[in-house]
Amino acid sequence: MPKTDIARRVYNHAWKLDPICRSLLDTDFYKLLMLQMIWGLYPNVDATFSLINRNKSVLLADEIDEGELREQLDHARAIRFSKKEMIWLAGNTFYGRKQIFQPEFLNWLADFRLPEYELTKRGGQYELHFHGKWMETAMWEIPALAIINELRSRAAMRSLGPFALDVLYARAKAKVWAKVERLKMLPELKISDFGTRRRHSFLWQRWCVEALKEGIGDSFTGTSNVLLAMDTDLEALGTNAHELPMVLAALAKTDEELLQAPYRVLEDWQSYYGGNLLIVLPDAFGTETFLRNAPPWVADWTGFRPDSAPPIEGGERIMEFWRKHGKDPRDKLLIFSDGLDVETIENTYRHFEGKVRMAFGWGTNLTNDFENCAPTEVDGLKAISVVCKVSSANGRPAVKLSDNPEKATGDPAEIERYIKLFGAQNRVRRKVSV
């Protein structure tokens, strides 16, 4: 048997493109849940999504070749859901519910393709916008981010020889496994992979998911990545995101409508979903105001996902809200998903143990932690805080305030207007590293 498979070697070296996004299911599950609702309730709303690199000192346009970026974005646009994928979406049980996707929605989805993109360079950064119908542009968020992040890792790794790459991945694996071993010590832990958007690469995310599956067993509840969920028989997890209140707020015609937008979103949501999918994301315009103005039925929802407040303070505040409404937090669920690493997970877990049900959605520090892994430090392998956010809806600017002013997005004047209206109580500035 020859040592080298000549055909494979030639094929490997003659690759035109190594696609980063190979399936429309290679996205976060919440995008599909939201999409069905947007398709049903807001089919005519336009929404623009825009790339935002919060690490200004990292010049993405210098690190990533524009030609390569276009090729990857073009390739993603050429993908359709495959027959097998459509059958799986229709036949699989999500969150304990059969046929969560309506046949009419799936019919529409079968022909879905990602819409056009607008790419320019300015000041060493890419300006990347997706204009069009909300129910089309929304689907760009995850592939756009995954493409940007993986192209950046690939560029960074070009300086490494085969041995250095071997050491890099060996160390990264050893590092993930050391984290897994720490998590194993938390007996009631429920944790899932939320790391698609910022992953080092698709293959690396898959390895991390396999490591959690192998290492912590039942404590690993699933992955937000729909493709990985399908391929590895895991639960696909996730509920809703800031784009819902952001768009509804942008569309509001009066201040009253704007103040009501966060609750309107919840009404919309529960017209589609129930049970464990009833998770409130309270921080789009500040959790404090959200809780103060919330109608009592918000306390009936299954849980909250505090996404920008410090986890312990943020969680305590929500438990206070539940108690005020006569709910026992032990029947309720808190989902933590903001900038988690093992230490935050351990501290949060120990703080809330026995007081409330908890789940963790672990992102960037799971799927893109390569610090001190290369034999000689490679800057481009350090994860950055890059997001793809809705920037306008029907031509009106969209804004997120967040509990952490560092995570606010939108036009500064518009942010001021929102702050005047919603207030800025209990917002805490925390460094956003990932």
Q: Which stretch in 3-11, 113-121, 311-319, 401-409 sits in contact with a copy of itself by CB under 8 A?
A: 3-11
121 is an interface residue for a copy of itself by CB under 8 A: no
Q: What is the smallest separation between the CB atom of 179 and a copy of itself, expressed in angstroms? A: 12
For residues 268 and 37, the answer to whether their CB atoms sit within 8 Å is yes
Q: Which residue has the tokens 């490591």?
A: 211
When binding is defined by CB under 8 A, the residue of 4, 6, 7, 233 that contacts a copy of itself is 7
Pick 161 or 326: Cβ nearer a copy of itself: 161
Nearer CB in complex with a copy of itself: 171/382: 171
Helices 103-110, 29-41: crossing angle, 10 deg rounding:
110
For residue 11, the minimal CB distance to a copy of itself (Å) is 6
Q: Is 320 in the site for a copy of itself (CB under 8 A)?
A: no
In the complex, least distance from residue 101 CB atom to a copy of itself, rounded to whole angstroms: 30
**Stretch of residues binding a copy of itself (CB under 8 A), selected from 6-14, 117-125, 233-241, 326-334:** 6-14
Decide: residue 310, CB within 10 A, 0-12 exposed, 13-18 middle, 19+ buried: middle
**Which of 306, 257, 260, 308 minimizes the C-alpha distance to 280?**
306
Positions in 351-380 near a copy of itself (CB under 8 A): 375
| Amino acid present at 416 | E
Residue 14 binds to a copy of itself (criterion: CB under 8 A):
no
Please state, in angstroms and rounded to a whole number, the distance separating the CA atoms of residues 140 and 51. 10
Using CB under 8 A as the binding rule, whether residue 8 contacts a copy of itself is answered as yes
Give, as ranges, the residues between 158 and 177 that touch a copy of itself (CB under 8 A). 161, 163-164, 166-167, 169-171, 173-174, 177
Residues 63-92 that bind a copy of itself (CB under 8 A): none
Q: Is 18 in the site for a copy of itself (CB under 8 A)?
A: no
Residue 6 or residue 413: which is nearer to a copy of itself going by CB?
6
Interacting span for a copy of itself (CB under 8 A) from 5-13, 122-130, 252-260, 353-361:
5-13
In the complex, least distance from residue 273 CB atom to a copy of itself, rounded to whole angstroms: 34
Residue 301: CB minimum distance to a copy of itself, A: 38
The site string for a copy of itself over 198-237 (x = CB under 8 A, - otherwise) reads ------------xx--xx----------------------
Binding site for a copy of itself (CB under 8 A): 1, 5, 7-8, 11, 161, 163-164, 166-167, 169-171, 173-174, 177, 210-211, 214-215, 375
